[in-house]
Amino acid sequence: VNECEAGQHQCSDNQLCTNVYGGFRCVPKNQCQEPYVRVSDNRCLCHATTAGCQDKPASIVYRYMSITSDRSVPSDIFQIQATSIYPGAYNTFRIKAGDEQGDFYIRQINNISAMLVIGKQVTGPQDFVLDLEMVTVNPVMSYHSSSVLRLTIYVGPYSF
């Protein structure tokens, strides 16, 4: 049952309903913190010309997913992909924060995409909040930027 699609949830207007195994979660729509500016329900931007943005990722995108408990490992669970491709630029992907126990790793597929892999068996219920960073470098144009996908992973209580 998807309570979010069926409208069987109690999330407020300033929350998003996220379907998880065995239920749903209500998450805040606007998670942008200064100096970031909200551009959609799940995206915050920080323009390089704005004070305080020079050393921060240009964007933070929020995503949510649910996985079953005790799944076989290693297991591909989430694909990350660049939305813009610039000639001469190359992208690298890494887990910037949230994986203190080393449960996950990134496998780069090509210049524009990578796969998040769960490398250790995890038992639910528990939540992970991973900051997946894509760094874009263009040596010809002396260009360097990064963006973060903040992925919340809900591990369900059951293995089915």
Q: Which of 20, 50, 22, 18 is nearest to 31 (CA)?
A: 18
pTM: 0.92
b/e 2-33 (16+ beta carbons within 10 angstroms → b): ebbeeeebebeeebebbbbbeebbebebeebe
Give 140's pLDDT tier (boundaries 50, 70, 90).
confident
Q: How many CB atoms sit inside 10 A of residue 156's CB?
A: 19
CATH number 2.60.40.60 given to 3-155: yes
- Domain segments of the chain as ranges: 3-155
Question: What's the confidence (pLDDT) of residue 123?
Answer: 96
For tokens 């992970």, name the residue. 128
CA distances in angstroms from 144 to 48, 67, 127, 158, listed in the order given: 11, 34, 32, 43
Q: What is the pLDDT of residues 34-77, one digit of tens each?
A: 999 999 989 999 998 899 998 899 999 999 999 999 999 999 99
